[in-house]
Structure 1
Amino acid sequence: MTQQLANPPAKASPTYTGARNEDDKALLRAAVELTRDLGEAKASIYWPDMLGSALVGYAALAGAIVSDTLWVTLLLGVIATLALYRALLFIHELTHIHRDALPGFRTAWNILVGIPMLMPSFMYEDGHTIHHSRKRYGTPDDPEYLPLALMKPWSLPVFVLVALLAPIGLVIRYGILAPLGLLIPPLRRLNWERFSTLAINPDFRRRPPADGDRKRFILLETGAAIWGIVVIASVFWIGWRPLVVALAVFSAVGILNQLRTLVAHLWENDGEPMSVTAQYLDTVNVPPPGFIAALWAPVGLRYHALHHLLPSLPYHSLGEAHRRLAAHELAQATYNRAHYRGMAPLVGKIASSTMGRRQSSVQQKGAASAEATP
C-alpha cells in the first residue's frame, strides 16, 4: 500500500468535500497568494543547468562510444542517460515559460538538445497545454492521459516497454517519413497528426499549427529531418557502433521518462471533466527528504501535482512553493494528500488498481455465469 506523507493540520479547509467537480478554494487561494514572488524564470539557473546537463551528457556518450572497456562503457552510458534525460526535460519548461522570459533559450535548447535527440520542442507544445486544460484534462481529448489504473494489468508493462522503440521510431519519423512527406501529402498529414506530439493517448489527432507557429515548426522539423538523414547515413562512414550505443542510451532515456510518466498521475479518471483540485489529487508529488526522485523526475517534475496547481511557476521555484503550501494551515489538508514516497510504491498502487479491477471483473463474470446456470 502506498504510504502518504500526511501531516494533518490543526484546522482543515471548511469548504472542500472531495467531490470531483468541486474545488478546495482555500488551497487554490493559498497557492496563488503564497507564490506571487516566485514567478520569475531566472536565466542564471536555466542556462547553466541546461548547458551543463547537455555537455556532461554528450561527453559521457562520446566516451561510451569510444571506450573499449565494458564497465567503462556501461558507467558512462548511465551518466549520459541521466544527464541527457535532464537536458531533454527542459522541453517541459519551454511549454510553460513565457516566450520572452529567457531570450534565446528556446532556440539554443532546440539546437543543442531537441534536434540532436530528434525531439524538437513543437512535439510538446500545443499538446501539453491541452493536458493542463480544466475542461479537457483526463478526457478523451487529452493527449497525455490514459486511465491506466482502470485498464488491463498487461497494459502497464506494455506502456513502459514501448519506450524502448521510441528512438528508432523517431529516426524513421524524421529521417524517412518527413522527407517522403514532401512528395506524398497524405503521408505528411499522417505524420503531423499521429507522430508529431508526445502523446500517450492513441486516439489523439493533432490539429494543423496556428499561423503564428507554422514557420517556426517547419524550421524545427526541417532541422530534425536533416539530422535524421545524417544519423541514418552515418553507418556508412563511421560504422554501426556509434549509432547502436547512442540508440541504447536514448532508449534508456525513453524508459526512464516512461516510468516517470507512469507515476506522474494516479490515472483514475474515467474520462469526465474534473475540477482543478481533483486534477491535483490525481497527480503526484514526491517531495524531499528522499533524493532519488530528483534523478528520475528532474527539472521540478518531482512536484508534478504542485505544477498542475501552478503551471507557470518555474521549476526552480517549486521547492519553495511546496514548503510554503505544506505549512499553510488551511491548505495543507488537501495539499498533503498528493505526496508519495517514491516510484516503487506508486507503481505498486497503480498495479494494484488494475489487478483489483481484473479480480472484480472475474467475480462479476462468475456471478453472472452462476445466475445463468439452470
Structure 2
Amino acid sequence: MTYQDAFVPPYSDGPDLGHTEPQDTGPSAFSPALDSKGRIADDKAMLRAARDLTKDLGTARPAVFWGDMLISALLGYAALAGAILSSNIWAALGFGVVASLSLYRALLFIHELSHIHRDALPGFRFGWNLLVGIPMLTPSFMYEGVHTLHHQRTRYGTPEDPEYLPLALMKWWSLPLFVGIALLAPVALIIRFAVLVPLGALIPAVRNLVWTRFSALSINPDFRRRPADTDLKTRVIWQEAFGSLWAIALALSPLAIGWRPLLVALAVFSVTAVLNQLRTLVAHLWENEGEAMTVTAQFLDSVNVPPPGPIAEIWAPVGLRYHALHHLMPSMPYHALPEAHRRLAAEFGDMSTYAGSNHPGMVTLLRRIAASTMRAR
C-alpha cells in the first residue's frame, strides 16, 4: 500500500518568483541561489536527493495510522466527557485541554486523507469520517480535492491557491482577525450542516452557494470550489447526510439534556480551531505576492520546525512540523517524515537550501510575521 505521487518532479521549469532575502530564523550564512533575473532558482541537487534518498519511505503503515487516530480520538472523547461531567472547574478545564489537544491531533488526519491513494489503507477514510470527521462536522470531502490544489506548482502562492494569503505583506490587524475568526468555526459548521444543507436539498441556488463558498477548508476568500468529480460526489452525499443529521441533533440537544454539554463541546472545538489556525499562520512565511514560484521557492516559503524542540509535536502533529519537507514530497506518509528529514539534513548540512526552511518554533515565526505586517503600508 503506497501513496500516489510521493515525490515532486525534481526539475520544474517555468515562472519562479519568491522572497529573495535570507531566512531570519534559519542558518545565518544561508542565502538562496538566484537566477539571472534575481529570483530564487531551483536547487536541483536538493530536489534529486529528496527523491533518491527517501525512495523506501513511501509506504503507509496501517498499524501506525489506525493506532494513532484511534487513541487520539478515544482519549479526546473521554476527556470531553470528563469536562462535561466534572463539577470541579479546574478538573473541567484540565479535561478540556486534553480533549482539545487530542481531538486536534485526530482531526488533522484529514490532511493525510487529502493525499492518500484511494487504494491505500482500506477502510481508514470511512473509519476516520465516522469517528472524527462527522462528529466534528469536518468530513474529509471538505479537504479532498481542495488541499491538492495548494500543492500544484503553478497554483501555489497565486490567487488560485485556496490555502494561501500574503499575510506577511498585509496590515497588522489581519493577523488577530485571521486567528480570531476561528472561534466562530464550530457554530458556523452547525449552521452549515443543520440549516444550509437541508435547504440546499430543496433549493438548488442554496446548494450551489453552499458548495462553492462553504464546502472547502480554505483561507483564500476569493476561492470558489468547482463541481466534484464522480468519485468524490458519492462520498459527499453520505458525508453531508450524516453530518446534517448530527448537526441537527446537536442543535436540538439542549431541549433534552440542557445547554452544558453543547456549550462545553463548542468551547473545546473552538480551542481546537484556534490552535489549527495558529498552526496555519506559521506553516508558511506568506511572503509571495501572487506570482507562480519554483519548487525551491515554495519550499523556502514553507516551514519545518524539526527537533529537538518537543512542543512542535503538540501544535503541529501528524507530520505537520515538517511542512516544508511535505511540500517536497506531498504524499509521503506522516510517520516517515522524521526519517526523511534526518537523511536530508545529514546530506546537506546547516548552510544548505534544505536547512533554510528550518525554524526554531511558533513564537519566533509569529514575531517574524507580525514584524512584517507592522512594516506593511
**TM-score for the superposition, normalised by structure 1:** 0.92
Give the structure with higher Rg (CA).
1
SS of structure 2 residue aligned to 1:328: helix
Structure 2 match to 1:347 = 366
Q: Residue 120 in 1 paired to residue 139 in 2?
A: yes
Q: Say whether the 8 Å CA contact 1:2–1:345 is kept in structure 2.
A: no
Aligned to 1:313: 332
Q: Give the equivalent residue in structure 1 for 2:15.
A: none
Greater percentage in helix: 1
Shift of 1:91: 0.2
Q: Are positions 1:322 and 2:345 aligned together?
A: no
Report what 2:114 is aligned to.
95
Select which of 22, 42, 45 maps to 1:23: 42
CA-to-aligned-CA distance 1:336-355 (integer Å, 9 cap, x gap)? 00111110110000011111
Letter in 2 for 1:76: F
1:226-245 paired onto structure 2 within 5 Å: 226-245=245-264
Tell me the residue number matched to 1:4: 25
- Cα displacement (A) at 1:17: 2.8
The partner residue of 2:323 within 301, 304, 316 is 304
| Match 1:39 to one of 58, 83, 90 | 58
Kindly indicate whether residue 160 of structure 2 is the aligned counterpart of residue 177 of structure 1. no
Q: Deviations over 1:274-326 (max 9, x none)?
A: 00100000000000000000000000000000000000110000000001111
Cα-to-partner distance string for 1:66-103 (whole Å, 9 max, x where unaligned): 11000000000000000000000000000112111101
Percent of pairs with identical residues? 63
Q: 1:20–1:275: 8 Å Cα contact kept in structure 2?
A: no
Unpaired segments of 5 or more residues in structure 1? 359-374
- In 2, the alpha carbon distance for the partners of 1:171 and 1:154 equals 28
2:376 partner SS: helix
8 Å Cα contact 1:325-1:332 kept in structure 2: no
Q: Distance in 2 between matches of 1:127 and 1:138?
A: 14
Letter of the 1:150 counterpart: L
Residues 192-203 of structure 1 aligned to structure 2 (within 5 Å): 192-203=211-222
Question: For residues 101 and 134 of structure 1, what CA distance do their matches in structure 2 show?
Answer: 24
For 1:182, give the aligned amino acid.
A
Matched residue, 2:183: 164
Name the SS for the 1:96 alignment partner. coil
CA deviation map 1:205-236 (0-9, x unaligned):
00110122211111111111111111111111
State which of 91, 106, 111 in structure 2 corresponds to 1:72. 91
1:300 touches 1:315 (CA, 8 Å); kept in 2? Answer: yes
Matched ranges for 1:45-60 at <5 A: 45-60=64-79
Shift, 1:22, TM fit: 2.5
In structure 2, runs of 5+ residues without a counterpart are 1-21
1:145 is aligned to 2:164: yes
Query: In 1, Cα distance between the equivalents of 2:298 and 2:109?
Result: 23
Instruction: Give TM-score, length-normalised by structure 2.
Output: 0.91
